[in-house]
Amino acid sequence: MDTNEHKFGKIRRVGLLLINNFALMSYASTVEPMRAANLLSGQALYKIEHLCSGDSIATSSGGINFEATLKLKDATKLDILFVIAGGNPSIFENEEIFATLRKLATRGVVLGGVSAGPYILATSGVMNDRRMTVHWEHAPSLIERLPDLLVTRSLYVMDRDRLTCAGGTSPLDMMHALITNHHGAQFARNVSDWFMHTEVRPAGGQQRAGLVERHNTTNASVIKTIEVMENHLADPLSLNQLANLCNLSPRQLNRVFKTNIGLGTMQFYTELRLNQSRKLCEQSTLSITEIALATGFSSTSYFSSKFSSHFKISPSEARAS
């Protein structure tokens, strides 16, 4: 790879908050893609810091100790913080960490959770009105404890400034998506190939076949675009951004959508967001304004107008039904 031809931009400072009893596989699958990105680019694209709960040492489930390189009070210096946890997060109580996460959320730091980490993000109160996922083992407990959370059973979810994944090897797929967002699809592919991670899974994981069946197409560009759309419901991408991710022109992307789906790209995207908003109206206690924001509509009045035009009932009527 000729790194001189690639403009990598800013150095991102990424913190890994290790909660005792975290799994090494989840940790490695998160950190190694960033290390490889630094190596392959010949630059420090990601400066990685380790933080610990309580003292300066965190111990993995395999008994390996990690020493903190950054104090919790200095976490505001970070661009991204991932909480990596295992064990039983339902009994985790640490007000210092909860308060720090809430503080970082108000400061605009991107917050991520890996394996049981999303559970800790949720109990700290920073996942309200954000879609998220968590390791399947912890999902029932989390949903029972906080029934209004927007929990999916995906491998990973990227919703605005929140990044959550199920742990194990799923961080490899999430980090591929993150590096794609930061540095482009080709460079992210180079990083994944470095680990022989040649079959990068979509955010929905096993739901990939569902996408093919639901939309009756196997066109790779269409499926990839729909996966991206589903990860950007709250912060919709433009037609140009979607086309760039598929290495197509906007006109070409529109053509393949109309051929395979029967709708233009952005018309399909709007309907996808509206369908999600109806589910939220019927299945959550979020306010209409919160639902509008969670599905990418900045104006409640505009959202209500689009919703009513599409479904022939208002959001309030959908909620009542």
Domain membership of residue 159 (yes or no) is: yes
Closest CA to 121 of 134, 136, 108: 134
User: Count H helices, E strands: the chain?
Assistant: 14, 10
pLDDT of residue 280: 82
Domain membership of residue 193 (yes or no) is: no
Domain membership of residue 31 (yes or no) is: yes
C-alpha to C-alpha distance for 96 and 193, rounded to whole angstroms: 39
pLDDT of residue 208: 42
pLDDT of residue 210: 59
User: How would you label 263-294 residue by residue, b for 16+ Cβ within 10 Å and e otherwise?
Assistant: eebbebbbebbbebbbebbeebebebebbbbb
Residues 162 and 240 in one domain: no
Residues 215 and 162 in one domain: no
C-alpha to C-alpha distance for 172 and 137, rounded to whole angstroms: 19
The total of other beta-carbon atoms located within 10 Å of residue 154's CB is 25
C-alpha to C-alpha distance for 252 and 175, rounded to whole angstroms: 28
pLDDT of residue 82: 98
Which structural domain range is residue 63 located in? 9-183
Residues 123 and 209 in one domain: no
pLDDT of residue 320: 83
C-alpha to C-alpha distance for 52 and 194, rounded to whole angstroms: 29
Domain membership of residue 57 (yes or no) is: yes
Domain membership of residue 65 (yes or no) is: yes
pLDDT of residue 3: 40
Separation in Å, CA 293 to CA 43, 235, 304 = 37, 9, 12
Residues 173 and 103 in one domain: yes
Residues 166 and 221 in one domain: no
Domain membership of residue 195 (yes or no) is: no
Chosen domain end from 183, 218, 242: 183
Residues 234 and 158 in one domain: no
Radius of gyration of the chain (CA): 20
Domain membership of residue 280 (yes or no) is: yes
Contact in structure between 105 and 122 (CB atoms under 8 Å):
no
Domain membership of residue 177 (yes or no) is: yes
pLDDT of residue 214: 67
pLDDT of residue 33: 96
pLDDT of residue 205: 61
Residues 173 and 239 in one domain: no
End-to-end CA distance of the chain: give it in Å, rounded.
56
Residues 145 and 32 in one domain: yes
C-alpha to C-alpha distance for 119 and 255, rounded to whole angstroms: 41
Residues 275 and 148 in one domain: no
**CATH number of the structural domain spanning residue 119:** 3.40.50.880
pLDDT of residue 283: 60
C-alpha to C-alpha distance for 122 and 239, rounded to whole angstroms: 32
Residues 15 and 147 in one domain: yes
Residues 178 and 208 in one domain: no
Unique residue bearing structure tokens 């890996």: 114
pLDDT of residue 209: 46
Number of domains forming the structure of the chain: 2
**CATH number of the structural domain spanning residue 210:** 1.10.10.60
Residues 219 and 173 in one domain: no
Which regions in the chain score pLDDT beneath 70? 1-8, 54-55, 204-214, 283-285
pLDDT of residue 4: 37
- 103: which residues sit within 8 A by CB, 6+ positions away? 76
Backbone angles phi, psi at 178, to 5 degrees: -65, -45
